[in-house]
Structure formats: C-alpha cells, structure tokens
Amino acid sequence: MTENLPRTARPLRVLAAMSGGVDSAVAAARAVEAGHDVTGVHLALSANPQSFRTGARGCCTIEDSRDARRAADVIGIPFYVWDLAERFREDVVDDFVAEYEAGRTPNPCLRCNEKIKFAALLDKALALGFDAVCTGHYATVVLNEDGSRELHRASDMAKDQSYVLGVLDERQLAHALFPLGDTLTTKEEIRAEAEERGLAVAKKPDSHDICFIADGDTQGFLANRLGKAEGDIVDETGEKVGTHEGAFGFTIGQRKGLRIGHPAADGKPRYVLDISPVDNTVTVGPVEALDVSALTAIRPRWCGSTAAAPGTYTAQLRAHGGESEVFAELVDGELRVSFTEPVRGVAPGQAIVLYDGTRVVGSATIATTTRATAASV
C-alpha cells in the first residue's frame, strides 16, 4: 500500500516543509485534508537572505518565507521559520565549493535533501514530537506487509523527483510523507488546485537554479571563493589549445564557454573530457570520447535495510535524465557499475541512483569512470 497520505487511528503530527512554492503549499493542504495535525515550517537557509536568488524562485529568499507564511495562513495551520543557515552553509554550500575545487561535479539539491530536509529538519521534528516531515516532492513511499518501506518513482514520470531523494535511508523513509507522489495530474492542474484553495503561490514560477547562487553565475560564485587560477586547456594529445581562469569552472561534458583559440582538426566541437585540479588542467576532445562503459561509486546509501544484491538494474545519472540498464555490485564498500550500452558525459561527483522497476534501490557518489575508448579517468 502507498503511504503518501496515510489515514491512521490517530492523526499524525506532521511538520510540512514549506519552501514558498506551489508544490509544498499544496502538499501541506493535502496533508491537512488527510486528517493530520499539520504545522508549517520554512527553512531560513541564509544568514543574509538577500544574497540568495530573488525573483520569487521558490526556495530561499525573504519573498519565499513570506509566501510560505501566507499559504499557511490560508490553509489554517501554525507556521514557523527555523534558522538552519549555519548547517546549510556547512553541509551544502561548503561541500559544493569543495567538490568543485577537487574537480568533481556535485548535486547540491540532493545534498540538501540528505543533510537538511531529512536529517537536520527531521531530527529536530522528531525531538519535538512530530511523527513525519511532509514535502512537495513528487515520489511515493510504499509500506509493505512486513512493515518495511520502499521509495518509488512518482506516478507521473514527467514530474518524478525520486532521483534527488535516493539518499534517504529506511529510517528517514519511515518519517517521510510525499502527498503529491500519486498525483496523475499535470503541473498546470496542481496550480489550478492551488488557485482553487486560494493560495497566492498558484502562479509562482518553479525553482530551477541553485538557490544559493544569487545571479546564476556558478563560475563567478566559485571564483569569488576559490580565487582565479589560470591554467591550460589541452586536447587529448596534450597540445595546448587555450587557457582558463580556474579548472573549477568546468564540468565533464561541457561544450559552451570553453573559449578555445582554434578549432579542432576535424572542425567538430570539443567537449570537456577531464578536469585535473592537481595541475589545473582541463582536457577537451570529441563528443565520442565522453562515452562511459563503467564506473565506481562511493558512499552508497540504500533505501532499505540491506545493500543491493549483485544484479541488473536501471540507473539514473541526472535529476532529469533517462534510465540506463546496468549491472551493479558492491565490492569492498564501493558500488561497481557496468553499462549495457555506453552512456555519455558522466562526471565524478554526480550521484548514480539505482532502480528496480519503479523502486529506488539506493544512491552513491560517482568516484571514477571508465571510458569506452580510453582508460579510467
């Protein structure tokens, strides 16, 4: 049975994380309708909210806090603002900078779910006597007959967000509610529902960018914290083809913004193949060289009580990416994955999430890749 909106002998005490966006507002309203005792909370994630993205993006600004409070008033639930700015800076922002400095490409939204929304927030909620945390994510929790829980994709694959929730463990799933997960409706219909409920956020734009980078300039954000460091851009033969102001400003598979002085011999575009923070060098080459046949991932987290058994699964490598068939096994605490067909543009630091059908098996952080036509990177 699904447990997105469980009806129990007693109403659950639910803490609804309200970002100030339409999804979390509707999720909180649905939790109330399901008979739960709901309290809304907005997470203040910056000591200086004006430094975070403005323009009603639905995440971390002062406007978002006010929008969340107004939504809570309309729904008729208590509302609080909790200051988690220091924890967010340490676990998400500092981690983001450190990963790029090391030549890896992190996913801050996934880290936020792991460390903030379902760790710091959940721990505080449980300490205060709440039974569950409710969010506006599109995913489904299934309660099995033996009492175990599984995380599954949302009913609507177009809105599925299980990839960024793949870090949740069994304990966290036991206290997670996703009221929108079984919704076979379009985003327009969610907005229409919000409008019917009198929620002013009904027409508010979705948040897509990194919330703590105010102007959307990731390279500039990193340069301000790490400093500019000129280095070489080289091709696969080691020939210098350009310069850069910091290897941290690039990601595997990047094509735009390379500012390479002269074209490749075949006239085709070149892409970032490797980032070496040790010698501050960026290697570029043809798109075919991005094909990856296998990878190793570290820090696996399982959405269940046990690690995944060796076998065939599907894998997702990006929040909005497709699935690839893989064979995966755990070896000495590391996840070893081989792809049935090569995949393109896989970067260390990204998360790989394994699925068995619609069930989320677990998530791990990509450490190394094996190119289909070259040695391990």
φ, ψ dihedrals at 70, nearest 5°: -65, -40
254-275 burial by CB neighbour count: b if 16+ within 10 A, else e? beeebeeeeeeeeeeebbbbbb
Give the DSSP letter of residue 289.
G
* Strand, helix or coil for residue 77: coil
Structure tokens that stand for 26 in this block: 């509707």
Q: Are 38 and 16 in contact (CB under 8 A)?
A: yes
Helix axes 62-75, 22-33, angle to 10 degrees: 20
Give the DSSP letter of residue 297.
E
Structure tokens that stand for 10 in this block: 């007693």
Q: How many Å from the N-terminal Cα to the C-terminal Cα in the chain?
A: 43
Catalytic residue numbers read 112, 211
* Strand, helix or coil for residue 207: coil
Structure tokens that stand for 9 in this block: 């002998």
Closest to 317 measured CA to CA, from 48, 146, 107: 107
* Helices first, then strands: H and E counts in the chain: 9, 17
Report the distance separating Cα 207 and Cα 59, nearest Å. Answer: 7
* Strand, helix or coil for residue 270: coil
- List all residues 6 or more positions away from 368 whose beta carbon is below 8 Å from its beta carbon: 295, 296, 348, 376, 377
